[in-house]
């Protein structure tokens, strides 16, 4: 049921094999990049795909700000203009915003055509490109419109990370850290240590594989997020809201950074509402905020916005925020309904020391 993930460890051989075994069955192979990946990733892609014809459709820069239905409209118009038919394959080459947006377009264009994802950011490789969620934002609320749509394959080639800026490394590491907290505490500690030491590329492939394993194992049991998959939302209820408000206030925060802060708040709530040991909670929060300090200028003035944004969370039912908390490191628990006043207090106390 779940899609395969292919790791490219050496040069272009593996990709070549893939191409000639899988891709020759398509009428057309359409590679879509946004402005960023056209500049930084397309040449690596072209080198790998020497001698193979493909159609390249460049898109304008895709960001959280224009990850909207209008971009889907734009992509569909380009696909129609290029006369892309139902037996074509689309390859999305880019970070999480590109794979989410192009993935959604591929899932609805002629009611769905085959999709390959080549994530070019760490966040994409360990999270966004895995598990078949696609989507765009709506009225500033994240991923309100989208689909569950499996790519035929996700291709992970760390060669693309060579040009990745530091901010993006931090963002990817935050999701990996989450994998540690919900499934493997020793892995959490390893990652925090590497990040604190600025040695993010040490044992990188090993870490990516570990994160893919954890995420895919969870999704396998519940791909439509009826139950267990929800644990992947640890840090995200507060994190998404934070991301939304930071965006609205004109000082956008990377997704991972927002999730890291969200995990700190949700770890704090875990003491009273899930029985996490107080000392453990403190230690996790301290280590998180050490590598993801609360940005300058962000303060209690944002708390109202965060509380409001949380109401639109897809995971809510009946209006009350529903959180994933930790009973212990590696032991998450879902669907915890927490009173708003408690969440508000935890945000103010954990992030803004009030």
Interacting residues with its own copies (CB under 8 A): 27, 69, 72-73, 76-77, 80, 83, 85-87, 104, 107-112, 133, 135, 138-139, 141, 143-148, 311-312, 314-319
Of the pair 39, 85, the CB lying nearest its own copies is at: 85
Of the pair 297, 319, the CB lying nearest its own copies is at: 319
Angstrom distance (rounded) from CA 222 to CA 304: 33
Q: What is the DSSP string of 215-276?
A: HHHHHHT-TT-SSGGGGGGTTHHHHHHHHHHHHHTT----HHHHHHHHHHHHHHHHHHHH--
Angstrom distance (rounded) from CA 199 to CA 193: 9
CB 164 → its own copies: shortest distance, Å? 28
Contact criterion met (CB below 8 Å) for 5 and 212: yes
CB 140 → its own copies: shortest distance, Å? 10
Q: How remote is the C-alpha of 92 from its chain's centroid?
A: 15
CB 145 → its own copies: shortest distance, Å? 5
- Cα–Cα distances (Å) from 12 to 26, 151, 343, in that order, read 21, 21, 49
Strands 89-94 and 29-33, sheet pairing: parallel
DSSP letter assigned to residue 99? H
CB 233 → its own copies: shortest distance, Å? 12
Of the pair 267, 322, the CB lying nearest its own copies is at: 322
CB 98 → its own copies: shortest distance, Å? 18
Contact criterion met (CB below 8 Å) for 237 and 315: yes
Strands 89-94 and 114-119, sheet pairing: parallel
Angstrom distance (rounded) from CA 286 to CA 306: 22
Of the pair 34, 100, the CB lying nearest its own copies is at: 100
Return the structure tokens found at 116.
Answer: 């390959």
CB 299 → its own copies: shortest distance, Å? 28
Of the pair 243, 313, the CB lying nearest its own copies is at: 313
CB 67 → its own copies: shortest distance, Å? 14
What are the residues facing 93 on neighbouring strands? 118
Of the pair 63, 74, the CB lying nearest its own copies is at: 74
DSSP letter assigned to residue 284? H
Which of 26, 189, 206, 176 lies closest to 106, judged by CA? 26
Of the pair 86, 203, the CB lying nearest its own copies is at: 86
């Amino acid at each position: 049921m779940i899609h395969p993930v292919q790791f490219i460890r050496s040069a272009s051989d593996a990709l070549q094999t893939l191409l000639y075994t899988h891709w020759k069955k398509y009428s057309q192979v359409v590679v879509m990049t946004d402005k960023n990946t056209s500049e930084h990733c397309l040449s690596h892609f072209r080198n790998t795909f020497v001698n193979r014809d493909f159609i390249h459709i460049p898109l304008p820069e895709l960001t959280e700000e224009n990850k909207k239905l209008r971009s889907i409209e734009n992509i569909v118009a380009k696909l129609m203009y290029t006369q892309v038919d139902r037996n074509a394959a689309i390859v999305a080459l880019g970070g999480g915003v590109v794979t989410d947006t192009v993935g959604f377009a591929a899932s609805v264009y002629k009611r769905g055509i085959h999709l390959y994802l080549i994530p070019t950011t760490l966040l994409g490789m360990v999270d966004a490109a895995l598990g078949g969620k696609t989507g765009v934002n709506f009225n500033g609320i994240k991923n309100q419109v989208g689909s569950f749509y499996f790519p035929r394959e996700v291709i992970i080639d760390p060669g693309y990370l060579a040009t990745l800026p530091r901010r993006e490394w931090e963002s990817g590491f935050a999701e990996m850290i989450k994998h540690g907290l919900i499934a493997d505490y020793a892995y959490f500690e390893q990652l925090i240590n590497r990040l604190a030491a600025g040695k993010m590329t040490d044992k990188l492939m090993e870490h990516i594989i570990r994160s893919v394993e954890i995420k895919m194992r969870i999704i396998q049991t519940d791909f439509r997020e009826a139950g267990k998959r929800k644990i992947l939302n640890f840090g995200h209820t507060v994190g998404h809201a934070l991301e939304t408000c930071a965006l609205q206030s004109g000082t956008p925060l990377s997704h991972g950074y927002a999730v890291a802060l969200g995990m700190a708040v949700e770890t704090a709530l875990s003491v009273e509402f899930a029985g996490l040991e107080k000392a453990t909670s403190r230690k996790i929060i301290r280590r998180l905020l050490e590598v993801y300090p609360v940005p300058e200028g962000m303060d209690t003035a944002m708390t109202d916005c965060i509380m409001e944004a949380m109401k639109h969370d897809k995971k809510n039912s009946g209006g009350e925020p529903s959180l994933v908390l930790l009973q212990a490191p590696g032991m998450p628990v879902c669907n915890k309904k927490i009173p708003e006043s408690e969440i508000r207090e935890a945000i103010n106390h954990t992030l803004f020391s009030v």
